[in-house]
Homo-oligomer: A and B are copies of this chain.
Amino acid sequence: MPRGNCQGQGWWHGKFKGCGYRLTAGREAILDILSKSEGHLSAEDIYMKIHSRYPNVGLTTIYRTLEVLSNLGMVHKLDFGDRRARYELAEGPEGAHHHHHLVCTDCNKVVDYTDFIDEEVELLRETEKGLGAKYNFQITNHVIQFYGLCGKCSGKK
């Protein structure tokens, strides 16, 4: 069965099977954690959350599963400058909720925002089209992050 760009419809049971991946306890546990917790978890965050309920899921499996999920487009792998990858579900059962990030360079607080997306989305679409044509790139996604100091940190002086 084919691997790779298997982004179909439905939720993840079918998605997994449809792509020829086996459905294991570890994978279910990871997806369960991801859909329950609000985003931006590191592999180890997930490991610790899982470990209490499924003590026999290893950290290696977390990494491997996250890579699979990322390849399937079910999970976004994020980098906020501390040197550990963070992960968030790309879309829940009821569909995507695309957003961008606001990162405090001091305390690493991360804010999801969608407020300005409406206008952004327009320009982004055009930009992607224009860039794709000009540089012969097939653009699949983008990262937009704003960095600065959160209220608490800029107040600290």
The chain A residues found within 8 Å of chain B, CB to CB, are: 79, 81, 102, 104-105, 111, 113, 115-116, 119-120, 123, 126-128, 130-132, 134-151, 154
A105 to B134, CA, bound (A): 18
Chain A interface, >50% SS class: mixed
Q: How far does the alpha carbon of A126 sit from the alpha carbon of B119 in the complex, in Å?
A: 10
> Do A127 and B135 have beta carbons less than 8 Å apart?
no
Measured CA separation A139–B103 after assembly (Å)? 9
Shortest beta-carbon distance from A83 to chain B in Å: 8
Q: Are A140 and B147 in contact (CB under 8 A)?
A: yes
Residue A137 contacts which of B111, B119, B123 (CB distance < 8 angstroms)?
Answer: B111
A113: chain B residues within 8 A (beta carbon): 131, 134-135
Asked whether, in the complex, the Cβ of B127 is within 8 Å of the Cβ of A116, the reply is yes
- Closest CB pairs A-B (n = 7): A136-B151, A139-B148, A138-B149, A138-B154, A140-B148, A142-B146, A143-B145
State in angstroms the CA–CA spacing of A104 and B134 once bound together. Answer: 14
Q: Which residues of B contact A111 (CB under 8 A)?
A: 135, 137
Residues of B within 8 A of A105 (CB): 140
Besides the known contacts A119-B123, A142-B144, 4 further A-B residue pairs in the complex with CB atoms under 8 A apart: A105-B140, A116-B131, A119-B127, A120-B123
